[in-house]
Chains A and B, each alone.
Chain A
Amino acid sequence: MLDLLQAVMDGVLFGATYALIGIGFTLVFGVMHKINMAYAAASIGGAYGGLLILKVMAAPAWVVFLCAFAAGGVLGYAVYVTCFHFIPLSSPLATLMSTVGMLLLIDEIIVHVTAGMPQNYPALFDDVMWRAGEFSLRGDLLLVFGVSVLCMIGLLALLYRTKLGLATRAVSQQAVAAQLCGIRVGRVNAMTFVIAGLLGGIAGALIGASVGMLSPLLTTPLTVKGLIVTVIGGLGSIPGAIIAGLLVGGFENVLQLYRGVAERDLYVMLLLFVFLVFRPGGLFTPRGARD
C-alpha cells in the first residue's frame, strides 16, 4: 500500500512538469486554435539559454532560472514570427507543419551546440527530501508543483484582470469582431506566444532542475506528454492542463510500478484514446470558442 501511495505521489509531483508544458500548449491553442508543436522544444531551448549565463559568470540557480525565463520569451516570439506570422492561419496544416519543422530545428541546434552531451543543470531544493518513515517527498518537485499552481493563478489573473487578458479572450472568441473593436489581433497573438514562451522558459528550467540535467532527449517525450495533457485536460483549459498533468504523471508511475517500463507508455496512450472516444472535449471543455 505504501508503495502505491509513494508511486502516486512521486508521479503526481513529477506530473507537475507535464502540467507546465501542457499549460503552454493550451494557452496558444486557446487563443489561436493552433497547436504549437515546437513548444516543448522551445521550452527546453529556453532552459539551455539560461545556462549561457554560466559561461559568463558563476551564478546561483535562481539567476539561471531567470535567464531561462527571458530566453523562453525570446524563443516564443521567434516561434511566432517564423511559424505563424508569415504563414496563412487559414491553413491549419501549414502552421502545424511549420511548428514540427521548428521542433526539429531547435532540437538539432541544441544537438550541434552541445554535441548531444547532457548538461548539468542547477537545481533548487534538490537536497531537500521530506520523510515520514519510508514515505518521502522531493523538495524540488514540490517547488515545481507550487510554480505550476502559481503559473495557473498568474495566467488566470492575466486573462481575467488585465486589458491584455480581455483582448486575448476577445481574440480567442471572435477574432474578426475583436479587430473591428480596435484590438490588434497580430499583437495579441504575438503577446500570447511571448507569455507562453516565458512560461516555457521557466518550465524548461524547472524540468532541467528536477531531472538534474538537460539533454535534447527531453524534447520529444515532453512534446508527446504535453499534447496528451492538453487533450485530456481539455484543449484551451489552463486548470485542465494542470489537473491532467498531475493525473498523467500519477497514472504513469503507478503503471510503472505494477506493469513495468515495457507496458507503461502503452497504457498512457490507451488513456488518451479513452478520452478521445468518450470525452473528446477533455476534463474541462472551455466555454468560449472562436467561431
Chain B
Amino acid sequence: MKKLALAVALAFAAGGALAQEKTIKIAGFGAKSGVVRSFGINSEAAMLAAADVINKQGGVKLADGSKAKIAVEFYDDRCNAEEGISVIRRIAGTDAVVAIGPTCSNVAEPLFGILQKKVADSGDSGLQFPVFTDVAIKVGLARISEWAFRNVPNEMTMYSSVFYWLHQKHPGLKTVYGGVEDDFAHSRASWHVVMKDRAQANGFAVAGESKWLLNDTNFATQVREMKKANADIVAIAAHPFTTCGVLKEMQRQGVKPKILVGLTSSSSLETLQGCAKQAQGMIIPTSFAPVSKEGKYAAEQTAKFKGNADLHSMAAWENMFILKQVMESEKITGKDVQGDRRKIREGLAKLKVTKGLLGDTKRTDDREADKPYLFVQAKGNDWVVLHNPL
C-alpha cells in the first residue's frame, strides 16, 4: 500500500514538473513539397537536431532565470509566394517567437514585403515578426524589411573570390561563358548580377550566355552556342536538374571547358545523384563543408533526423544557436510573445559577429551575413575541398 502511494505521489510530482516545463517555440518554414522538397527536409532536420542538442544542454535561459526547452514546428510553403505569405501570417498567429525560412528567393522577396519596413514606423501596419532566413539566397533581400535577417552566404564575395583565384591560378584563361536558368529568381540573379559582373571585374571577358528554363529538357541549341563560343570557363547558374541536363548535353557535344563553375546551391547531393560523372571537376564556392569538428558533429546530428548537411541546412543549424544566444542576451520572458519577438529582432540587429561552422560570420548593417566560405570540387561521388581562400 505504501509502495502504491509512493508511486502515485511520484507520478503526480513528475506530472507537475512536466506541466511546469516551459517551451519557446521557433517556427521553421520552407519547401517540403514540390521539386525543392529536399531543401525543406534538410532544414527541418537541422533545426530539430539543433533544438535537440540545445534542449539536452538544458534549453534556453529566460529573463527570470528559469530554463525553457525549444520546440520546433515546421511549415510547408511549397516554394510558392502566396503559400509563403499565408504560412508566415499563420506562424505570426501562433506563439512562435521567431521563424527560420524560407527556402526560395521568390518566396522570401514578397514575404519580406509584408513585414513592417521600419521598426519605428507606427504608420506601417506590416507584420512585426522576426524572420531569420537560412536558404533563400538572392542578393540583397534583407534590406526589404528591418524584421528580415539572413544567414546566407554572400554570393558577390564568394564569386569575386572564385574568379580572382582562377585568374591568379590560371592566368592563361581569358574567357567565360554563362549558362543560366532564366526563370528562377536566384539562378537568374546569380548569373546576371553576380557571376557575370565578378568575372569581368577579375579580368575575364564574357564570351556569351545561353538561357534555358527550369522545366526544360532539351539543351542542344544552348550547348551548340556554348560550343561555338569556345570559352575557357563555363559558369552554370542553374539548379541540379537543368545543370545535369546541360552537363550531359555538353558531354554529348564534346564541350570541354578548361574550368567549370557552378551555382552555390548545386554543391549538394542532388547534383551528384543526377550526374556525378559529368559534374567531375566542377568548382563551387560554398559556406559549408564538414571540415571542422563542429561541422562534422552538426552533420552527424542532422543525419539522425534524416537530413543532409549542406550549406543551406547548416545555416538553419547555425541560426538555432544564434537565436539561443540572442534570446538569452535579450532576456526574453517566455510570457509576452510580441515583446519577445521585438527583443529577438533587437538582439539580431545588434549582432556584429556570430559563430558559424566554418568560423566567425560577420553581420552587415543591412542584416545580411558575410559568411566564411570554401571552394569545393566534384570528385567521385563527393564534393571535396579544393581551396580555402580565407
A residues with a Cβ closer than 8 A to B are 3, 6-7, 10-11, 14, 17, 108, 111-112, 115-120, 126-127, 129, 136, 138, 207, 210-213, 215-218, 220-221, 249, 253, 256-257, 260-262, 265
Within 8 A of A (CB), among B14-58: 33-38, 41
Residues of B within 8 A of A218 (CB): 215, 217
23 interchain pairs (CB within 8 A)? A3-B224, A6-B224, A10-B220, A108-B33, A111-B33, A112-B37, A117-B273, A118-B241, A118-B273, A120-B275, A126-B252, A211-B248, A212-B274, A213-B274, A215-B241, A215-B274, A221-B217, A257-B221, A261-B182, A261-B213, A261-B222, A262-B182, A265-B213
Q: Could you tell me if B274 and A117 are in contact, using CB atoms closer than 8 angstroms?
A: yes
Determine the residue in chain A with the shortest Cβ distance to B39: A116
Of A115, A126, A262, which one neighbours B211 at CB under 8 angstroms? A262
Rounded to whole angstroms, the CA-CA distance of A210 and B252 in the bound complex is 11
Measured in the bound complex, the distance between the Cα atoms of B215 and A213 in whole Å is: 13
- Pick the contact of A120: B33, B211, B213, B274 (CB < 8 A): B274
User: How many residues of B sit at the interface, in one of the four size bands?
Assistant: 20 to 34
Specify which of B217, B220, B252, B273 is in contact with A207 (CB 8 Å cutoff): B217
Q: Which residue of A lies closest to B274 (CB)?
A: A118
Q: How far is the CA of A217 from the CA of B370 in the complex (A)?
A: 33
Residues on B with C-beta less than 8 A from A249 are 218
Minimum-distance CB pairs A-B, first 3: A118-B274, A212-B248, A116-B37
> Is the CB of B364 closer than 8 A to any CB of chain A?
no
From A11, A119, A138, A217, contact of B273 by CB (8 A)? A119
Residues of B within 8 A of A117 (CB): 38, 240, 269-270, 273-274
A127 to B278, CA, bound (A): 13
Q: Choose among B35, B213, B216 the residue that contacts A216 (Cβ–Cβ < 8 A).
A: B35
Q: How many angstroms from the CA of A112 to the CA of B37 in the assembled complex?
A: 8
CB <8 Å contact, B215 and A220: yes
Are A211 and B37 interface neighbours, CB within 8 A? Answer: no
Asked if B245 is at the interface of the complex by the 8 Å CB criterion, the answer is yes
Q: Please indicate the chain A residues that have their CB under 8 angstroms from the CB of B276 in the complex.
A: 120
Query: A222's closest neighbor in chain B, by CB?
Result: B217
Report how far A210 CA is from B253 CA in the complex, Å.
14
Cβ–Cβ contact B182 & A211, under 8 A: no
B355 CB, min distance to chain A CBs, angstroms: 29
Q: Is the CB of A215 within 8 A of B220?
A: no
Q: Which residues of B contact A253 (CB under 8 A)?
A: 218, 220-221
Contact partners of B212 in chain A: CB under 8 A: 261
Closest to A14 in B: B218
Per the 8 Å Cβ criterion, residues 204-241 of B in contact with A are 211-218, 220-222, 224, 240-241
Task: Please state if B41 and A115 are interface contacts (CB–CB under 8 Å).
Answer: yes
Enumerate chain B residues within 8 angstroms of A11, measured Cβ to Cβ. Answer: 218
Query: Known contacts A115-B38, A118-B241, A212-B274; can you find 14 more A-B pairs with CB under 8 A?
Result: A10-B220, A14-B218, A115-B37, A115-B41, A116-B34, A117-B38, A117-B270, A118-B244, A126-B248, A211-B248, A213-B244, A215-B35, A217-B214, A253-B220
B211 to chain A, nearest CB (A): 5
Expressed in whole angstroms, the Cα–Cα distance for A111 and B241 within the complex equals 13
* Chain A residues within 8 Å of B253, by CB: 129, 136
CA of A10 to CA of B249, assembled, Å:
12
Residues of A within 8 A of B220 (CB): 7, 10, 14, 138, 253
CA distance A210 to B219 in the complex (A): 11
In the complex, A212 Cα to B216 Cα: how many Å?
12
Is the Cβ of A221 less than 8 Å from the Cβ of B215?
yes
Nearest chain-A residue to B306 (Cβ)?
A: A115
Q: Could you tell me the distance between the alpha carbons of A120 and B222 in the complex, rounded to whole angstroms?
A: 21
CA–CA, A253 and B293, complex, Å: 51
Interface centre among A111, A127, A249 (most CB of B within 10 A): A111
| CA distance in complex: A220, B269 (Å) | 24
Question: How would residues 58 to 83 of chain B score, 1 for a CB under 8 Å from any chain A CB and 0 otherwise?
Answer: 00000000000000000000000000
Which chain B residue has the least Cβ–Cβ distance from A211?
B217
